[in-house]
Amino acid sequence: MKNRRFYLDLVHMLGFLPRKTSLYRLAFIPKSAQQKTPSGNHLNNERLEYLGDAVLDAIVANHLFMRYPEGDEGFMTKLRARIVKRKNLDYLATKIGIPAFIDRGITTGSKSKHIYGNALEALVGAIYLDRGFGCAKKFFERKILKRHIDLVLVAQKDPDYKSRIIEWTQKNSVEITFESKEEHLSGSKAPSFVSVILLNEEAKGTGRGDSKKEAEQQASKAALKSIHTV
Identify the pLDDT of residue 183.
Answer: 80
Residue 156 forms part of a structural domain = no
Residue 35 forms part of a structural domain = yes
Q: What is the pTM of this model?
A: 0.69
Query: Domain boundary residue among 119, 149, 179?
Result: 149
Identify the pLDDT of residue 102.
Answer: 87
Give the CATH number, domain containing residue 60: 1.10.1520.10
Identify the pLDDT of residue 159.
Answer: 61
CB neighbour list of residue 50: distance below 8 Å, 6 or more residues apart: 125
Residue 14 forms part of a structural domain = yes
Phi–psi pair at 198, nearest 5 degrees: -110, 130
Give yes or no: 141 in active site.
no
Q: Which residue of the set 90, 121, 160, 167 is catalytic? A: 121
Give strand pairing partners of 179.
196
- Amino acid symbol at 184: H
Is residue 137 located within the same domain as residue 75? yes
Is residue 100 located within the same domain as residue 194? no
Q: Which residue of the set 46, 53, 141, 214 is catalytic? A: 53
Give yes or no: 121 in active site.
yes
pLDDT tens figures, 117-137: 999 999 999 999 999 999 999
Identify the pLDDT of residue 58.
Answer: 97
pLDDT tens figures, 92-102: 999 999 999 98
Please say whether the beta carbons of 142 and 63 come within 8 A.
Answer: no
Is residue 177 located within the same domain as residue 103? no
Is residue 89 located within the same domain as residue 170? no
Is residue 129 located within the same domain as residue 165? no
The span from the CA of 55 to the CA of 126, in Å, is: 10
Residue 211 forms part of a structural domain = yes
Give the CATH number, domain containing residue 188: 3.30.160.20
Query: Domain boundary residue among 115, 149, 183?
Result: 149
Number of domains in the chain: 2
In this structure, the chain runs to a length of: 230
Give me the residues of the chain with pLDDT under 70, please.
1-2, 40, 103-112, 156-159, 185-190, 229-230
Range of the domain at 197: 161-226
Q: Which of 169-180 are b and which e, b meaning 16 or more Cβ less than 10 Å from the residue's Cβ?
A: bbeeeeebebeb
Q: Is 204 helix (H, G, I), strand (E, B) or coil?
A: strand
Please say whether the beta carbons of 46 and 31 come within 8 A.
Answer: yes
Residue 155 forms part of a structural domain = no
Is residue 20 located within the same domain as residue 61? yes
Identify the pLDDT of residue 229.
Answer: 61
